[in-house]
Structure 1
Amino acid sequence: ILLAEEVRDREVVAISVAGAFRKGKSFLMDFMLRYMYNHASEQWLGDAEEPLTGFSWRGGSERETTGIQIWSEVFLVDKPDGRKVAVLLMDTQGTFDSQSTLRDSATVFALSTMISSMQVYNISQNVQEDDLQHLQLFTEYGRLAMEETFLKPFQSMIFLVRDWSFPYEFPYGQEGGMKFLEKRLKVKNQHEELQNVRKHIHSCFTNISCFLMPHPGLKVATNPHFDGRIKEIDGEFINNLKILVPWLLSPRNIDVKEINGSKITCRGLVEYFKAYIKIYQGEELPHPKSMLQATAEANNLAAVAAAKDLYNKKMEEVCGGDRPFLAPSELQARHGVIREEALQVFRGVKKMGGEEFSRRYLQQLEGEIDEVFVQYIKHNDSKNIFHAARTPATLFVVIFVMYVAAGITGFVGVDIIASLCNMILGLALITLCTWAYIRYSGEYRELGAVIDQVAGFTLSPSFVSMIFKIIAQRVKILPYRDDLFCSLKFSAVYKEQYL
């Protein structure tokens, strides 16, 4: 989903809904999906008779969603400044159900909070002290992260209070919600533990807001066959839903995911998913330092991926599949320039962990770029018509030379050498036919590669130099043979007189 061509390099907005189980999270997410598909229309809620579809949901007392579910489509949205960003919607398993351990609930909540740029904390009826204490599980990570980067680790937290029963104290909507939340999170003469919870929540989130929603009505709560039709939902709930969803998802309000002050792309978010899932695979909840370490690793890996992507794109423009053969010296020069650009991209990304921590990822990037360059060299060489014809040309030369050598040595009576030349000629001819079959059929490619390597070595300066040295040494030590000289002279006179 996140690595699709059209979205992987887009900045990502990750919106998740988390909270206790059976409190209507998936129900809300499906209305958010309707808005994303129909936001251009004022009638985005659809027909009053239309069942609600999207993320799986149902009424009842047993859980429906398990784990973290990501909608299969990433939505592209134009921000007011002209940027096109990718919007990702995530539904999460309800916390503290009868089938999950404390670790399961904490893991899901932690992952969704760390991955999302906007976390909707779905709460029923009121913001109670235990709701705030559930957030405290992650405040230690936030404190450590701030010591490292001096930035707040999380972005937007929206307290969504469902089934709000006191509109006469604080009216439904955002305005009433903000007044209510301000009072609830105010640090005053409480116990020190309660004060610390509130201080940490304020220090860990860049934006904190609240929205109060009315109850959807008795038909929704008590009808076992309710399928989400708008006509069965209380009118006051619908009116506030028309305010809530556009407020959450309007291009002006959505926040691009940031870590350590750097905006994250869809490709980068994949690295964070991998890193976080890895540390949560153990039996115990990870220590906050482990979470910080995973974030730093993913941060550096995302920078490596961005730099490699730049290198590959620019090298494709230089010597990609549709580009002509490039002189090796020119290819080397262009590689050097593009390689340095890619390294600058890596260095320019804000990274966690410090310079020493990032150095090994820089070395990893350099090694991977050099490995990719070797492949580009081979790809470029394959476009050289002379390189492609090297093997058959070499074999033809061997066949021709052996044919001439066999004729000359046979003519002068050196039959052993003539037989050896004929044998080499036959082997070269068989090798040529084998090579042609491999190229035509695509079979036995390993054997074809060996033939190409031998042919390349045969034409290499080192091999030719070695042959000449051997010949020179043989000539120097070859004794003068009167009988051979006389035999050659007699043969020449005989042929001149009688043939």
Structure 2
Amino acid sequence: MAEQIKVTRSDSFENVSKFSENSDTMMSGDAKLSSSEQYGAIQIVKSEEKHKFILDHEALERILLQDHIKDKHVVVVSVAGAFRKGKSFLLDFLLRYMNFTYIEEVPNGDWMGPNDVPLEGFSWRGGSERDTTGILMWSHVYLATLTTGEKAAVVLLDTQGTFDSESTVRDCATVFALSTMLSSIQIYNLSQNIQEDDLQHLQLFTEYGRLALADTGTKPFQRLQFLVRDWSFPYEADYGEEGGRKILERRLQISEKQHAELQSLREHIKSCFSEISCFLMPHPGLKVATNPKFDGRLKDIEPDFKESLSQLVPILLAPENLLLKEISGVQVKAKDLVQYFKSYLNLFSGDELPEPKSMLVATAEANNLSAVASAREMYSSLIVPISSRLKTISSSFATQL
């Protein structure tokens, strides 16, 4: 099935904007990033004409098959939701935290940085037109020490916004479903409130997990983090995690008064995710919303927003909160994630949306191919040297005779 993927040259590496001058971690092995290619957002899933999505598997392998990364269990954090609602803007603050915590390793410091420094990383801009297309992966994979002592690889994904004027419903479903299937923490970025249509879209995008749920007895997806931006009702529920919990309980509550369809919708969402939480964010301020020259400097952002941001990001990315990616209850390594990307993208390569049944088949295929690759790797590292040595001994013995 993997052969069906259309291969593209990794041209996205030629125009990578640097995020950090820290290049201590150089890459080794066959999958390498040169120093000029480090620290950028790489488009690994691209949108083509006729609403087709293709995988730049060369770019993906360069990131995930680095020698110091490929055998690490992986944490995948993705941000998805409607277009022009600040997903990439949020991701760049996640990058600041990751650099501060897992590269600079400064304990209990101010990870948000100086007030007068522009925000860099994933491309973002103000305005009404879409900016991100397809799925982007940050080229630097962070190594984080979990509370168990294990070192895990942390991957950040940015996704094309849903429901812009150029995307079909199928496009939206494809990108959202892919990011949900591949992430361990899916941030569902919403504006102002959790509305009924937001839940309906979520049901549509997660429909592909139904069969996996029925066949394996486990929930197909892991953590869903509702993130409500520009929350305007702090008198009903406070900004932050506690207010989010209150609103989430109300929105997902099931009662006898509800229509059966509304009850089914809520049951479906709860059955698809192992963990669901919510966080309420205030508006970042008029300078952010209306100034076309705004470049992310903290001095231009409202204090309430910065305070909420300082609470939100550690909830997602602190070592004790990182969640290893699991598929069918098995933890996934970085090298395995490459195969899942290939298998899942093939699932959406046809003209129609796949049946939910196909997800289970694609997962099984990826599991099998990953197991074969691991067995081949073990054979090469253990059996081949022994076989070679035995041949040498046999040849030596024959010479003596």
Aligned runs of 1:315-354 on 2, under 5 Å?
A: 315=383, 318=386, 326-328=389-391
Match of 1:178 in 2: 245
Distance in 2 separating the partners of 1:228 and 1:168: 28
Residue 18 of structure 1 aligns to which amino acid in structure 2? A
Residue 122 of structure 1 aligns to which amino acid in structure 2? N
Q: Identify which of 141, 144, 160 aligns with 1:74.
A: 141
Distance in 2 separating the partners of 1:145 and 1:199: 16
Aligned runs of 1:403-482 on 2, under 5 Å?
A: none
Of the structure 1 ranges 292-301 and 67-76, higher mean CA displacement relative to structure 2 is found in: 292-301
Residue 383 of structure 2 aligns to a residue in which SS?
Answer: helix
Runs of 4+ displaced beyond 6 Å: none
Match of 2:75 in 1: 13
Q: Identify which of 73, 76, 90 aligns with 2:157.
A: 90
Distance in 1 separating the partners of 2:287 and 2:140: 31
Report deviation, 1:296. Answer: 1.2
Distance in 2 separating the partners of 1:138 and 1:63: 20
Pair 1:143 & 2:210 matched: yes
Distance in 2 separating the partners of 1:164 and 1:311: 56
Residue 295 of structure 1 aligns to a residue in which SS?
Answer: helix
Q: Does the CA contact (< 8 Å) of 2:173 and 2:205 recur in 1?
A: no
Report deviation, 1:142. Answer: 2.2
Match of 1:217 in 2: 285
Distance in 1 separating the partners of 2:206 and 2:351: 21
Distance in 2 separating the partners of 1:308 and 1:33: 36
Pair 1:49 & 2:112 matched: no
Cα gap change, 1:147 to 1:95, in 2 (>3 Å): same
Distance in 2 separating the partners of 1:15 and 1:255: 9
Distance in 1 separating the partners of 2:277 and 2:371: 32
Report deviation, 1:287. Answer: 1.1
Match of 1:31 in 2: 93
Report deviation, 1:56. Answer: 0.4
Distance in 1 separating the partners of 2:307 and 2:206: 35
Residue 29 of structure 1 aligns to a residue in which SS?
Answer: helix
Residue 284 of structure 2 aligns to which amino acid in structure 1? P
Distance in 2 separating the partners of 1:170 and 1:232: 26
Report deviation, 1:303. Answer: 1.7
Q: Identify which of 223, 227, 236 aligns with 1:156.
A: 223
Report deviation, 1:137. Answer: 1.6
Match of 1:373 in 2: none
Report deviation, 1:328. Answer: 2.7
Residue 176 of structure 2 aligns to which amino acid in structure 1? F
Report deviation, 1:44. Answer: 1.1
Residue 149 of structure 2 aligns to a residue in which SS?
Answer: coil
Q: Does the CA contact (< 8 Å) of 2:87 and 2:189 recur in 1?
A: yes
Residue 144 of structure 1 aligns to which amino acid in structure 2? L
Residue deviations 1:245-292, cap 9 Å, x none? 111101111110001110000011111000011111111111111122
Residue 145 of structure 1 aligns to which amino acid in structure 2? A
Question: Larger C-alpha radius of gyration, 1 or 2?
Answer: 1
Distance in 1 separating the partners of 2:375 and 2:389: 23
Aligned length: 331
Distance in 2 separating the partners of 1:171 and 1:308: 54
Q: Identify which of 320, 325, 338 aligns with 1:252.
A: 320
Residue 374 of structure 2 aligns to which amino acid in structure 1? A
Residue 327 of structure 1 aligns to a residue in which SS?
Answer: helix
Cα gap change, 1:326 to 1:251, in 2 (>3 Å): same
Match of 1:241 in 2: 309
Residue deviations 1:150-186, cap 9 Å, x none? 0000000000000000111110111110111011101
Residue 314 of structure 1 aligns to which amino acid in structure 2? L
Match of 2:362 in 1: 294
Report deviation, 1:46. Answer: 1.2
Of the structure 1 ranges 178-187 and 295-304, higher mean CA displacement relative to structure 2 is found in: 295-304
Report deviation, 1:100. Answer: 1.0
Q: Does the CA contact (< 8 Å) of 2:185 and 2:223 recur in 1?
A: yes
Distance in 2 separating the partners of 1:138 and 1:204: 11
Normalized per residue, which structure has more strand? 2
Match of 1:263 in 2: 331
Residue deviations 1:431-474, cap 9 Å, x none? xxxxxxxxxxxxxxxxxxxxxxxxxxxxxxxxxxxxxxxxxxxx
Residue 250 of structure 2 aligns to which amino acid in structure 1? K
Report deviation, 1:141. Answer: 2.6
Distance in 1 separating the partners of 2:207 and 2:80: 20
Residue 254 of structure 1 aligns to which amino acid in structure 2? L
Residue 103 of structure 1 aligns to which amino acid in structure 2? R
> TM-score scaled to structure 1, two decimals?
0.64
Cα gap change, 1:74 to 1:225, in 2 (>3 Å): same
The runs of 5 or more residues in structure 2 that have no matched partner are 1-62
Distance in 1 separating the partners of 2:212 and 2:225: 21
Distance in 2 separating the partners of 1:317 and 1:15: 39
Match of 1:313 in 2: 381
Distance in 2 separating the partners of 1:145 and 1:271: 18
Distance in 2 separating the partners of 1:92 and 1:274: 17
Residue 320 of structure 2 aligns to a residue in which SS?
Answer: coil
Residue 241 of structure 1 aligns to which amino acid in structure 2? L
State the identity as a percent. 61
Cα gap change, 1:59 to 1:139, in 2 (>3 Å): closer
Residue deviations 1:193-217, cap 9 Å, x none? 1111100111110000000000000
Distance in 1 separating the partners of 2:393 and 2:223: 50
Report deviation, 1:301. Answer: 1.3
Distance in 1 separating the partners of 2:350 and 2:186: 25
Pair 1:197 & 2:260 matched: no
Q: Identify which of 100, 103, 109 aligns with 2:176.
A: 109
Distance in 2 separating the partners of 1:156 and 1:215: 25
Cα gap change, 1:139 to 1:330, in 2 (>3 Å): farther
Distance in 2 separating the partners of 1:220 and 1:278: 39
Distance in 2 separating the partners of 1:4 and 1:131: 38
The runs of 5 or more residues in structure 1 that have no matched partner are 320-324, 332-380, 388-499
Normalized per residue, which structure has more helix? 1
Match of 2:6 in 1: none
Residue 274 of structure 2 aligns to a residue in which SS?
Answer: strand
Report deviation, 1:317. Answer: 5.4
Distance in 2 separating the partners of 1:46 and 1:213: 20
